[in-house]
Amino acid sequence: MVEISLLGTGGMLPLPERFLSSVCVRINGKLILIDCGEGTQISLKKLGWGIKKLDIILITHFHADHISGLAGIILSLINSERADPIYIIGPNGLENIFNNLCVIVPELPFKIFFIEQDFSNKNILEINNIFISTLKLDHSCDCFAYSICLKRIGKFNLEKAKKIKLPCKFWSELQHGKQIEFNNKIFSPKDVLDDERTGIKITYCTDTRPIDQIVNFSEESDLFICEGTYGENNKIEKAVKNKHMTFSEAANLAKQSNCKELWLTHFSPSMPEPEKFLINAKKIFNNSKLGTDGLTKKICFN
């Protein structure tokens, strides 16, 4: 099962009822945070999932509305008595930006592994059956979309296991993804499992123009969280100029990539009532929803 919660849905400036765009994903009790503008630690506190189990922070880009709350998140982690290392992943220059922003943070009681993206590597992290991939977007600075996939192994196949004459004491290890050695032969999970089953895929895509590559990248996502900075179709010139999208453009991407559900986010502060324009997305992709701060969903394996 994967749980997803929007911590904020605003772009540029936080508003009292609309914090800056950020999402928290919980898988097997562990947390992944995407972006952390000013105030994200407050929304995370409100959510009630705790912070101590935050293992991975993904940064889309270095505009302040996506990263200015990083010091606050680190301070909250220190205060939670976190001791395990964490990963922070983002564009090149990440560690330098971190060191600047965290000049007001005391010495860390945990290790940070920085992964700075070199653009050539689509799959950047695999940890506990969770695969994190990135795509370079088209914004006014280096900016990346992220997809988080929880893979699901195939069913245990008794006939296969019997055929290779492997004692049943080894079955569990193979089911847990390990290789084992028996009678001088190496056995791997595929020797006792059926083909991999459909997993769960979440894609997060902001800030960008709607480039073609997003369609492949977000293909068949169970949930596609995408920026819709402007609701009205006639804001297209502004969207092009500021390297953002309209609701219609986001909906087109959701449709083309055959996603199950679209959540719009990253609304311009000049749009106090995004609900007025949801119809522009729904006309193109019916399962479009308006992101709201605190909107939460559970996705289970089929």
Which residue number, 2 or 6, has a Cβ lying nearer to its own copies? Answer: 6
Whole-angstrom Cα distance, residue 275 to residue 288?
Answer: 11
- Which residues participate in catalysis according to the annotation? 65
Residues 64-103, interacting with its own copies (CB under 8 A)? 64, 67-69, 71-72, 75-76, 79, 97, 100-101, 103
Give the binding range for its own copies (CB under 8 A) out of 60-68, 211-219, 243-251, 285-293.
Answer: 60-68
Cis ω on the peptide bond leading into residue 35 (within 30° of 0)?
no
Minimum distance between the CB of residue 148 and its own copies, rounded to whole angstroms?
Answer: 25
Binding residues for its own copies, total number by CB under 8 A = 29
Give the binding range for its own copies (CB under 8 A) out of 7-15, 146-154, 210-218, 221-229.
Answer: 7-15
Which residue number, 79 or 188, has a Cβ lying nearer to its own copies? Answer: 79
Report the DSSP beta bridge partners of residue 182: 185
Minimum distance between the CB of residue 61 and its own copies, rounded to whole angstroms?
Answer: 10
Whole-angstrom Cα distance, residue 117 to residue 107?
Answer: 26
Residues 100-159, interacting with its own copies (CB under 8 A)? 100-101, 103-105
Whole-angstrom Cα distance, residue 91 to residue 226?
Answer: 19
Out of 24, 33, 62, 214, point to the residue binding its own copies (CB under 8 A).
62
What is the token pair recorded at 252?
A: 């087109």
